[in-house]
Structure 1
Amino acid sequence: MILRSGFLTLAVCLLAACSFKPYRIDVRQGNAITQEMVARLTPGMSRDQVRLVMGSPMLVDVFHADRWDYVYQFSSGYKTPERRKLTVFFEGDKLARLDGDVVPASGEMPVLPVTPRMIDITGPAPAAKP
């Protein structure tokens, strides 16, 4: 009787374990690319300005130095992965054009005024050691 109930308990546990899908974590790879970021890019921007807005590119081709590729993929559990790609082309050191599946958001992004701040790092001289 004990053997029979033990076997029944084991069978129920094994069948219950097979009925659920395992948990899959959300995986984000690459640079997050938003419409707002793309809207801030304007022709004539320098490479440093583009890097400040978009972050470091995922791919900088040695043979095509005037092309930067930004790739982003978000996999959420069992859903179809979301992929975004943006290619930035330069002529000389200035932004020439964009290509990819991310378009700028409609409307202008508000430009906030930047006020420089001066911080005084000179303080009293350190006390002399005896």
Structure 2
Amino acid sequence: MLLAMTLSACFSLYRVDIRQGNQISQEMVFQLRPGMTEEQVRFIMGSPLLQDPFRNNRWDYVYRFSPKGKLEESRRVTLMFADGKLVSIEGDVIAAVTPDAASQPAAKP
């Protein structure tokens, strides 16, 4: 009986770190600019985790990290396209520019 209790305690101590979806970093999102093609976005972000079959102009990137079974990090980014060009960025990770700021020239250092 003591052996059974010891073995059951060993099995409940270890939990696997679970990573699901696309790894999304702030640096990746900072590289995105309105007007980029789908190929350029795919080069930066990778293939989207979710792509709506009824609205192929929306790409969803989702990332979840659960070390030892407890949710620690969750990120979501939704990209919208029009005519094959990036038009909006929404989600938990902040974009570097807004569509209005993209049309203005960049300041020189």
Into which bin does the TM-score normalised by the smaller protein fall?
0.7 to 0.9
Percent identity among equivalent residues? 47
Kindly state the Cα deviation for residue 18 of structure 1 after the two structures are TM-superposed: 4.4
Task: Give runs of aligned pairs for residues 1-130 of structure 1, distance below 5 A.
Answer: 11-19=1-9, 21-104=12-95
Instruction: Verify the 8 A CA contact 1:59 1:70 in the aligned structure 2.
Output: yes
Query: Which ranges in structure 1 are unaligned for 5 or more consecutive residues?
Result: 1-10, 106-130
Between stretches 64-73 and 15-24, larger displacement belongs to 15-24
Q: What is the root-mean-square deviation in Å for CA atoms of aligned residues?
A: 1.8
Q: TM-score, normalised by structure 2?
A: 0.76
Q: Distance in 1 between matches of 2:21 and 2:44?
A: 15
CA distance in 1, matches of 2:18, 2:87: 32
**For the residues of structure 2 that align with 1:95 and 1:78, how far apart are their CA atoms?**
35
* Paired positions, count: 95
Q: Which moved more, 1:22-31 or 1:39-48?
A: 22-31
The runs of 5 or more residues in structure 2 that have no matched partner are 97-109
Q: Which has the larger radius of gyration?
A: 1
Runs (4+) off by over 4 Å: none
**Which structure has more strand as a fraction of its residues?**
2
Larger RCO (CA under 8 A, 6+ residues apart): 2
Q: TM-score, normalised by structure 1?
A: 0.65
